[in-house]
Structure 1
Amino acid sequence: MTDDPITRLEETIAHLAHTVDELSDIVARQEGEIGVLKRRVQVLLEREAGRELDSGGTVPVADQKPPHW
């Protein structure tokens, strides 16, 4: 490592830029995973709402507010 302050700053910036790129990739991947999970939850909610109606329920579960609201 060098004692030159400019070189140290350049190295620090390079490391930070690399970290930002890695984090950006992670966020992009997580965005895709969240999209898949949202679709799966929606399918499950719709499926359960159908079961609720079939069993004689009046309000599908997906449309009910949780008891803590």
Structure 2
Amino acid sequence: MNTDDEARLVRLEELVAHQQAAIEDLSRQLSDSWKADERLRAELARLIDMFEDIEDGATAPPANQKPPHW
């Protein structure tokens, strides 16, 4: 191999190494995002359950009932 081919091969190997590092970093970020998404969904479900329990326990007058001063 001549020096031009060797230099080209080195550049390609460097490019592949950089791309591999970038892919691994993006994969880690995606995994972290999925974990955060799952955690937030669980928290949202817990809050929804809490609010539904509060609504069920509340004694609100019926929606069509006139106020007492009428």
Alignment TM-score, normalising by the size of structure 1: 0.69
Shift of 1:9: 1.1
Give unmatched runs, 5+ long, in structure 1: 58-69
Q: When the two structures are aligned, how many residues end up with a matched partner?
A: 55
Moved runs in structure 1, 4+ residues, more than 6 A?
Answer: none
Percent identical residues: 22
**Which structure is larger by alpha-carbon Rg, 1 or 2?**
2
Greater RCO (CA < 8 Å, at least 6 residues apart): 1
Alignment TM-score, normalising by the size of structure 2: 0.68
Give unmatched runs, 5+ long, in structure 2: 61-70
Alignment equivalent of 2:47, drawn from 34, 44, 48: 44
RMSD, aligned α-carbons: 1.6
In structure 2, the partner of 1:19 is: 22
Task: State the distance in 1 between where 2:10 and 2:29 align.
Answer: 29
In structure 2, the partner of 1:9 is: 12
Q: For 1:53, give the aligned amino acid.
A: D
